[in-house]
Amino acid sequence: MPWLGLPLALEILLAIALVAIGLLLIALVVKLFVLLLPAALVALVVWLLTHDRLLTALAFLAVALVSLLKRL
């Protein structure tokens, strides 16, 4: 019985396309995590030393920007 009223071959292609999109999204999230990990660690150290939200945010943004510019 067709799921969306589509032929079986089209449903299989749709399922494959959705799986591919899901894998691409997972890869993007992992890449973003790896990119922001150093910034998060620096921000954590700044927070533990100062307990100041502004300095922590500035440290995170500065390291994230440097990491981003380094990759370009």
pLDDT at 38 over 90: yes
Read off the pLDDT of residues 47-63 as tens digits, 9 standing for 90 and up.
Answer: 999 999 999 999 999 99
pLDDT at 42 over 90: yes
Phi/psi zone of residue 2: left (φ > 0), alpha (ψ -120 to 50 degrees), beta?
Answer: beta
Spatial distance between the Cα atoms of 46 and 48, rounded to a whole number of angstroms? 5
H helices of the chain, where?
8-50, 53-71
* Residue 22: predicted pLDDT: 97
* Residue 7: predicted pLDDT: 81
pLDDT at 25 over 60: yes
Mean pLDDT for the chain overall: 91
